[in-house]
Amino acid sequence: MDKRLIATDKAPAAIGPYSQGAQKGNMLFVSGQLPIDPSTGTMPEGIEAQTRQSLENVKSIVEVAGGTLGDVLKCTVFLKDMNEFAGMNKVYAQYFTENYPARAAVEVARLPKDADVEIEAIVMID
């Protein structure tokens, strides 16, 4: 089975040489999603709003590929400031309420477009 590239206008367009998502068989890899509102091209203020937008972007890509957030196996959360972990986690817990995916959360020196958060996911779609 060939690799299928996933793209939707319900998530921000790639800002470099990568795809929003790449799928082979039932495995989907969602590129890191910045908290950019695809309809306006802007980022909300604050870690909670940015986390929500990043997760909405991940959700849109997963849904276009035929899955749901319940199919997510692992997320990696990149934070500009680990002191914002609690705010990120509060919103994250609204999106993943049971059968939690594995997760890593790491602080990074800087994110594209100076975002506060970026989230990527690995998904297995049945």
**pTM for this model (two decimals):** 0.97
| Model pLDDT, residue 70 | 97
Q: What is the rounded distance in angstroms from the CA atom of residue 60 to the CA atom of residue 62?
A: 6
**Parent domain of 15:** 4-124
Q: What percent of the chain has pLDDT over 70?
A: 99
Q: For 63-115, how does the pLDDT look when each residue is reduced to its tens digit (9 = 90+)?
A: 999 999 999 999 999 999 999 999 999 999 999 998 999 999 999 999 999 99
Q: What is the rounded distance in angstroms from the CA atom of residue 14 to the CA atom of residue 30?
A: 11
Query: Can you give the CATH number for the domain in which 105 is found?
Result: 3.30.1330.40
Helix residue ranges per DSSP H, 1-126: 47-64, 85-95
| Percent helix, strand and coil across the chain, each to the nearest 5 | 30, 30, 40
pLDDT band at 28 (very low <50, low <70, confident <90, very high): very high
Q: How many domains does the chain have?
A: 1
pLDDT at residue 1 tops 80: no
Residue 118: half-sphere exposure toward Cβ, Cα within 13 Å: 19
